Amino acid sequence: MNVNAQNLLLTLTVKMKMVFLDIVSVTPDDRNWVTLSNDNNVRVMRSRYDTVSIPGTYSYIAVTTFQLKTTPSKAYNFLMQHLVEIQWPWPMTPLEAKSFKEREEMIKYESESNHITVLKRSGPNEDEYLLQEASMDGLFSYVIAAPMTEREIHSSLLRGIEGDGILHPAGFSILPENPNSESSLVTFAVRQPVNVSKTENDAVEPMEIVIGCMIQDKEFCLIKFIYTITYKFHFCNRT
């Protein structure tokens, strides 16, 4: 990887991490986020800088925390391999399968505690990219990813903090439930476009349903957990 590409990649991952950590914090910065609901163990928000591509449709965020009965290291290793299936569900519908080519790995950067990859898939109108970072720092670890187009990459880099609204990271932060625990506390953030016909509160229930679909089988073993949320995310996107 040349120096320019490496600097670009690191800049994007730093911005993506900052956005994600603000999303999953106990008190997100209200200069950046509009909080619509914090009930039923689910917080629903929208970025103040989000752009609208379809009238009435915004990208909303749902955040929740739950227990996973596996060690943080096992959860981290497995989620690092499978977050891409949550962001880019597969198999697609027959129409989507015709429009998109098989994804390919464009960039890969690895160190002992940090893994960054950029995947690409060619769509009907423009190429799409998926930036993913997985990092483990002591007891805390996270696996996050953000889909983006080339146009959005340039906008994010040029527009400063307002450009952060273009980044749509989703993923997991992982902590041990207790010191030396065999269970993990996982905070999960997911984004979903929702068309709001009247008020923004109309987006709350759909977002609660989406994230509920993903985690309702959280008591199962880790492999079945990943399979379940991957399948149900695909299903919820189609209904």
Domain segments of the chain: what residues? 3-98+132-238
Q: What is the pLDDT of residue 171?
A: 92
Query: CA-to-CA distance for 165 and 167, rounded, in angstroms?
Result: 5
Place of tokens 């911005």: 15
**Is 144:17 a contact under the CB 8 Å cutoff?**
yes
pLDDT at residue 39, as a whole number:
83
- Numbers of helices and strands, H then E, in the chain: 6, 9
* CATH code at 3-98+132-238: 3.30.530
Chunked into runs of 10 residues, the chain (239 residues) has average pLDDT values of: 66 89 92 88 86 70 88 87 68 52 75 87 78 90 89 68 65 89 88 80 86 59 42 41
| pTM, 2 dp | 0.77
Question: For residue 170, which of 7, 45, 52, 75 has the smallest C-alpha distance?
Answer: 45
What pLDDT score does 220 carry?
A: 38
**Distance from the Cα of residue 229 to its chain's centroid:** 13
Alpha helices in 102-159 (DSSP H): 150-158
Angle at alpha carbon of residue 228, lines to 225 and 231, rounded to 5°: 150
pLDDT of residue 126: 76
Helix (H/G/I), strand (E/B), else coil: 40: coil
The answer to whether the beta carbons of residues 43 and 184 sit under 8 Å apart is no
DSSP code, position 119: E
